[in-house]
Amino acid sequence: MKKQKLYSNIENSLIMRIITNRWFMFLYLLIITLVTIVLHLYMQTTVNEISYYIDHTKKIEQRTKQHVIELKTEITKLSRADRIQQIAEKRLNMINSKPQTDVIIIK
**pTM score, whole prediction:** 0.51
Q: What is the pLDDT of residue 26?
A: 86
- Tell me how far apart the alpha carbons of residues 85 and 11 are, in angstroms, rounded to a whole number: 100
CB-based contacts of 89, cutoff 8 Å, min separation 6: 95, 96
Indicate whether 3 pLDDT > 60. Answer: no
- Tell me how far apart the alpha carbons of residues 73 and 37 are, in angstroms, rounded to a whole number: 54
pLDDT tens per residue, range 43-69: 999 999 999 999 999 999 999 999 999
Indicate whether 77 pLDDT > 80. Answer: yes
- Tell me how far apart the alpha carbons of residues 67 and 35 are, in angstroms, rounded to a whole number: 48
Q: Contact 58/52 with Cβ under 8 angstroms?
A: no
Q: What is the pLDDT of residue 14?
A: 66
**Angle at 46 (CA atoms; ends 43, 50), nearest 5 degrees:** 140
